[in-house]
Amino acid sequence: MSKTLKYRTCHLCEAMCGIEIELQNNEPIKIRGDKKDPFSRGHICPKAVALIDIHKDPDRLKRPVKKTPNGWKKIDWQTAFDEISEKVVDIQKQYSKDAIAMYNGNPTIHNLGATLFVPQFLRALKTKNRFSATSVDQLSHHLAAHYMFGNGIILPVPDIDHTDFWLILGGNPMVSNGSIMTAPDIGNRMKDIINRDGKIVVVDPRYTETAERATKHLFIKPGTDVWLLLAMINEVINNGYVNLGHLDKMLESNTISKISELVSFCTIKLASEHTGISERNIKRLAHSYATAKSAVCYGRLGVSTVKYGSLSQWAVNALNILTGNLDKKGGAMFPAPAFDSVAGKQMSPKFGRWKSRIRNLPEYGGELPSATLAEEILTPGEGQIKALFTNCGNPVLSTPNGKQLDKALDSLEFMVSIDIYINETTSHADYILPPAAGLEVAHFDIGFNNLAIRNTVKYSDPIIPKEEGTLYDYQIFQGLIKAIQKDVLPKDPIARQSMEMMYHITPQMMLDKVMGTGRYNLTVDELRKYPHGIDLGALTPCIEERIITPDKKIDLLPKIYIEEIQKVKEEKLTDQTKLDLIGRRHLRSNNSWMHNSHRLVKGPKRCTALIHPDDAEKRGISNGDVISVSSRVGTVDLPAEVTKTIAKGVISIPHGWGHNRKGVKLSVAQKHAGVSLNDLTDEMFVEELTGVTVLSAIPVDVVLSAAS
Ligand SMILES: Nc1nc2c(c(=O)[nH]1)N[C@H]1C(S)=C(S)[C@@H](COP(=O)(O)OP(=O)(O)OC[C@H]3O[C@@H](n4cnc5c(=O)[nH]c(N)nc54)[C@H](O)[C@@H]3O)O[C@H]1N2
Ligand SMILES: Nc1nc2c(c(=O)[nH]1)N[C@H]1C(S)=C(S)[C@@H](COP(=O)(O)OP(=O)(O)OC[C@H]3O[C@@H](n4cnc5c(=O)[nH]c(N)nc54)[C@H](O)[C@@H]3O)O[C@H]1N2
Ligand code: SF4
Ligand SMILES: [Mo]
């Protein structure tokens, strides 16, 4: 029996850990951390091992399936492409191009072929009804970069390998392994900060796994970080802590006094009343952050997807700028990747060029907010969505008011899912097109090298050959594009050739093209010589190169945020009778889709509601009781976990569960079904400015369930 070892990057989350795969007769039998990976240094988490289970999963689809009155029927690829394209062209003719929508989910950006070919497919569809996970995730970061640095894709990342002070708001990297911050082996990186006498402060309504490792944790009332951040800006300016350093030349001199005037209402006292953090703690936090040799304020999902998420991300950047910590070692820095998605002005996504039909919410980067998807399907009239493609996405479980989306998907004339499972979303489709996946596909991280705290690069060929008769994702997109375009190929030979080129090009060719013009001048062939990857060094200051505002200056106070600050000023403190619902993640769970690996999900029940003992007692709830949690849109029943690790007035339910829906074929996940947090989140509760779904501080009633 032959044993071999192969290496690649794990693509399951943003951390980009190097993995070593032990193969026996070409079958994966063990996965370990790759000790020679210069970035992850041998670290992995339990999800990587589940790559073996995904590879072998009997529930995973490998051939196209078509829904028939007698259930799912396997069909061949060409039949699938032909039938789908016929229907697409019919719907476009009968209604309009916009009648066909697409949702692209999270794994798209973790997947080389999908990252490169989804844009080509969208170009072929020519629809304005595009949706993705961005509007339930990181859109506020893009918007802040768009307005402040001129390019929505250059996101500053915390230089945690060198910082003396790391302030984390609404992120739990010990579990999530970091987000908008690719930083594998986060536990050791945090230890290193503390070992060099640095400080880590975590602000979170839950005493998290990250808080356990920090020097200080502050409980905060969900949805109120904006008051803390504005008060900190106030403190920094009023106490003479402003120190722009090298950024001085990049800022308009009068903006700081304008900011000072605007945020002057947000005193420490007011911030304390809103956030529940004591005045003394806010003052101390502002002082220690502003006086640290280097410091970085980092706000993630728990502050990105709230009522003032966009303003909060502006404030995070503003704090880092005012204290001279942007583009500085140990502060918030810009990566310089080998595949540079940022190079070139034309790449910068735009904002607000058109609005959604029903609720008038703005597009960002050509996408409308996912919170509007169901209403755009359900509301009749010109421009109504009649057909939907989903790719790498499970919006029934991951976007707000999943039950409404269930109904909407049932009402579609036509639906196609590019996915490897029959799950809560794809079970609504007429066709499912499954790509080869995981260890069977080549990998190069285009997305996350742009967010990495250190510049590295790696390319991996497939570890295991894909099964005969299966297709890579990019080949599925090529098949679809070709079939859809077959009757509209231009007569002009040059135009025709350029269209047809897309049917043959490979991701590797595209990588070579972009990397060849990049700063490291690399090729795929060159990278093949380095299976553990290449270390390209620590981040270095490079803002002058990255920023593309017309005058090459940072816009420290874009107009849209002035209006947002006014809105915050007008908010009143209210008495609260409901609990604030928030979400959470677990190391042994990945968004909505990895629960079919027994080895990953085994162990104690994880889909529980965390509730503070005082809140539980008031409602007669004991640990383990089944409780009913109700919001405007629905009710779910699940076991309570009574714990002081959650702030009073707050309840936390993990997202991504709820596999007990009709039509799902996930034999392991269905046993651990749980409930869907997004049967409680409200599609009408969005950030007004962007339409991003509010995922924290959803008002809910909590009672002992009749079933208890
Ligand atoms: N309430 C609440 N809602 C949330 C969040 C939250 O914290 N709270 N988090 C939000 C965030 S940050 C995100 S990113 C979204 C994620 O939500 P989605 O965008 O829906 O992504 P996933 O849940 O990861 O779903 C992945 C889908 O891709 C499929 N898949 C996996 N690998 C492949 C592959 O290689 N190819 C193809 N074609 N398909 C594949 C899986 O079967 C699954 O259907 O959820 C958001 N929703
Ligand atoms: N194991 C695992 N890893 C993952 C994922 C997964 O599902 N499982 N998902 C991946 C994805 S798609 C993403 S986007 C990242 C997300 O990664 P993170 O941004 O780290 O997100 P979470 O782990 O959800 O942590 C959010 C934290 O915000 C807190 N919070 C909630 N509301 C508020 C608030 O109003 N204010 C403050 N200050 N805190 C608040 C929550 O209690 C929680 O601890 O994780 C990625 N990594
Ligand atoms: S932390 Fe992320 S990248 Fe690393 S092994 Fe786990 S899932 Fe894979
Ligand atoms: Mo995400």
Q: How far is the CA of 106 from the centre of ligand 4 (A)?
A: 6
CA-based nearest residue to 446, from 179, 139, 150, 114: 114
How much is the pLDDT for 707? 75
| Among 7, 11, 13, 458, residue to substitute to test ligand 3 (most atoms within 8 Å of Cβ) | 13
How much is the pLDDT for 346? 54
How much is the pLDDT for 344? 57
Is the distance from the beta carbon of residue 133 to the nearest atom of ligand 1 less than 6 Å? yes
Q: If you average pLDDT over residues 370-375, what whole number do you get? A: 98
Atom 13 in ligand 1: which residue has the minimum CA distance? Answer: 133
Q: How far is the CA of 417 from the centre of ligand 3 (A)?
A: 26
Q: What are phi and psi of 9, to 5 degrees?
A: -100, 135
Q: Which residues of 348-413 form beta strands (DSSP E)?
A: 351-355, 362-364, 387-391
Distance CA 251, CA 261 (A): 17
Q: How far is the CA of 137 from the centre of ligand 1 (A)?
A: 11
Whether the predicted pLDDT of 703 surpasses 80: yes
What number of other Cβ atoms are within 10 A of residue 618's Cβ? 10
* Percentage of residues of the chain with pLDDT beyond 70: 99
Residue 82's pLDDT band, with cuts at 50, 70 and 90, is: very high
Q: If you average pLDDT over residues 62-73, what whole number do you get? A: 98
235-269 tens-digit pLDDT: 999 999 999 999 999 999 899 999 999 999 999 99
Q: If you average pLDDT over residues 571-586, what whole number do you get? A: 94
Q: Which ligand approaches the C-alpha of residue 11 most closely?
A: 3
Q: If you average pLDDT over residues 344-369, what whole number do you get? A: 90
How much is the pLDDT for 123? 94
Whether the predicted pLDDT of 661 surpasses 70: yes
149-205 tens-digit pLDDT: 999 999 999 999 999 999 999 999 999 999 999 999 999 999 999 999 999 999 999
399-449 tens-digit pLDDT: 999 999 999 999 999 999 999 999 999 999 999 999 999 999 999 999 999
Q: How far is the CA of 42 from the centre of ligand 3 (A)?
A: 11
Lowest-confidence range among 1-5, 462-466, 575-579? 1-5
Residue 345's pLDDT band, with cuts at 50, 70 and 90, is: low
Is the distance from the beta carbon of residue 50 to the nearest atom of ligand 3 less than 6 Å? no
How much is the pLDDT for 502? 87
Whether the predicted pLDDT of 527 surpasses 90: yes
CATH topology of domain 575-704: Barwin-like endoglucanases (2.40.40)
How much is the pLDDT for 347? 65
* Percentage of residues of the chain with pLDDT beyond 90: 94
Per the document, the length of the chain is 708
Whether the predicted pLDDT of 477 surpasses 90: yes
Whether the predicted pLDDT of 95 surpasses 80: yes
How much is the pLDDT for 656? 98
CATH architecture for residues 65-133+351-433: 3-Layer(aba) Sandwich (3.40)
Superfamily of segment(s) 3-60+438-492+527-538: ADC-like domains (2.20.25.90)
- The string of DSSP codes covering 225-250 is HHHHHHHHHHHHHHTT----GGGGGG
Antiparallel, parallel or unpaired: β 626-630 and 431-433: unpaired
Whether the predicted pLDDT of 2 surpasses 80: no
Whether the predicted pLDDT of 640 surpasses 60: yes
Q: Please identify, by atom number, the ligand 3 atom nearest to the C-alpha of residue 12.
A: 7
Lowest-confidence range among 441-445, 518-522, 536-540? 518-522
Burial 42-78 (b: 16+ CB within 10 A, else e): bbbbebbbbbbbbbebebbbbbbbbbeeeebeeeebe
Q: Which ligand approaches the C-alpha of residue 418 most closely?
A: 1
How much is the pLDDT for 324? 97
Distance CA 189, CA 194 (A): 9
Q: Which residues of 193-331 form beta strands (DSSP E)?
A: 199-203, 216-218, 296-299
Where along the chain do its domains lie?
3-60+438-492+527-538, 65-133+351-433, 139-339+542-569, 575-704
Exposure on the CB side of residue 186, measured as CA atoms within 13 A: 27
- Residue 657 per-residue DSSP state: -
Is the distance from the beta carbon of residue 591 to the nearest atom of ligand 3 less than 6 Å? no
Is the distance from the beta carbon of residue 179 to the nearest atom of ligand 2 less than 6 Å? yes
- Which CATH code is given to the segment(s) 139-339+542-569? 3.40.228.10
Q: What are phi and psi of 136, to 5 degrees?
A: -120, 25
Burial 412-425 (b: 16+ CB within 10 A, else e): bbbbbbbbbbbbbb
What's the Rg (C-alpha) of the chain? 25
